[in-house]
Amino acid sequence: MKKILIIDDEKNILDVLSPMLEDEGFKVFKALDGKMGISIFKKERPDVVILDIWMPEMDGIEVLREIKREGNDSIVIVISGHGTISTAVEAVKMGAFDFLEKPLTIEKILEVISRGLAGREKQKETYNELKIGISKGLNIIKQKTIGKSIVVYGVGLHSGVKTGMILLPMPEDTGIIFEHVPEGERIPAFIDYVYSIGYASSVKGKSCVVRTIEHLMATCHMYGITNLLIKVSEEVPILDGSAIELCKKIEEADIVEQKEGIESLKVEEEIILNNLPEDKYLKIEPSERFEIEYKLIHPEPIGIQEYKFIGSCNEFKTDIAPARTFGFLRDFEKLNQMGLGSGGRVNNVILLSDEGVVNTKLRFPDEFVRHKILDLIGDLYLLNRPIIGRVVAQQTGHMENIALVRELKSRFY
């Protein structure tokens, strides 16, 4: 029988959760403060700890630190009625498995407990056991998630607000899902939920929006991540304006191949996006692999740039992911007037004047076209499955990318 310890100074939380968890087959221990919780923890060594952050005398962060100092593999789920993404990020950095916002539901608690216990058991499986259940078929690949929870911290490009996010493993057939903190609403990273496609790709649920998701989606696309939970407030951090830090974070978490497969979307006929302005062009056609050819035509100092990307993860990491967001100073002034772009900093955006780059040294002579490919890779993953096909693009942005994804959905779903 699995043991659960609940540490919360609200007696009604203990009284409500305990019988529910006992009905699910757990042996439950309760503590009304941090010191009592530590004492019970050292004696009983529970499999799961449900820990309130805000408690008098010894708060949840101190308790979490003490639990982790003990060095066992208990799954710690942090809860709070006054949560922020900063609190969640701090807790996960210290070793918490997940963060839940009050009011709690038994369904959400059981889901997190199940994920945590399943992840711990996975670590104990042998290599041969992990080979069971490989899917067959020409266009079937294995589903993947990450091996452990990780945190990312930075500012939002358009909000300018310090923000962070937590990436968590998810089981097969879940897909990529954003969970808004603190509201708790979950929004699938799927084309049907796309909300804003001007200066960034965003998704919207019933009452919450998550913005600037394209770099994270591109990284998931190229690393083959199909199942992931992203806890975030209103905007994915821009980091240095590229996706290279996200690559490092995904590798830090490790990539776990799952038993179930997912079918790639293999393009069998040419699809051309119609009714575009004369200078824009976008199509996808049959190919035996994923590839992108992009032509960027812009006045100097950018000029005409062309790049062909052959969709391997290694090439993505070295040649596409480091390419940063760029824009002209005059455009950021307009964005600021619209309440956007206020997170653009000297160290996270390539800023241009009519004479040239004003704030940094380019990582590639053609960094601008490479970044356009980065955005396109991310937008194309809003079908939550790999694509086998050749994309040819000229002068397109998020709006055209999303239009192509909608066309793909109408034909293949």
- The residues that are catalytic are 398
404, 408, 401, 406: which is closest to 373 by C-alpha? Answer: 401
71, 65, 1, 73: which is closest to 37 by C-alpha? Answer: 65
CA distance 30 to 287: 59
CA distance 14 to 7: 8
Question: Based on the number of CB atoms within 10 Å of its own CB, is 105 exposed (0-12), middle (13-18) or buried (19 or more)?
Answer: exposed
CA distance 264 to 289: 11
The residue with tokens 């940094």 is: 360
Encoded tokens for 398: 């998020």
How many residues in the chain? 413
CA distance 112 to 149: 12
- DSSP string spanning 65-97? HHHHHHT---EEEEEESS--HHHHHHHHHTT-S
Main-chain phi, psi angles of 288, to 5 degrees: -90, 5
Say whether the peptide bond before residue 182 is cis (omega within 30 degrees of 0).
Answer: yes
CA distance 296 to 370: 9
Main-chain phi, psi angles of 272, to 5 degrees: -110, 130
CA distance 111 to 94: 22
Rg of the chain on CA atoms, in Å = 23
CA distance 375 to 183: 28
CA distance 75 to 61: 15
* Residue pair 177/230 in contact by the 8 Å Cβ criterion: yes
CA distance 211 to 197: 10
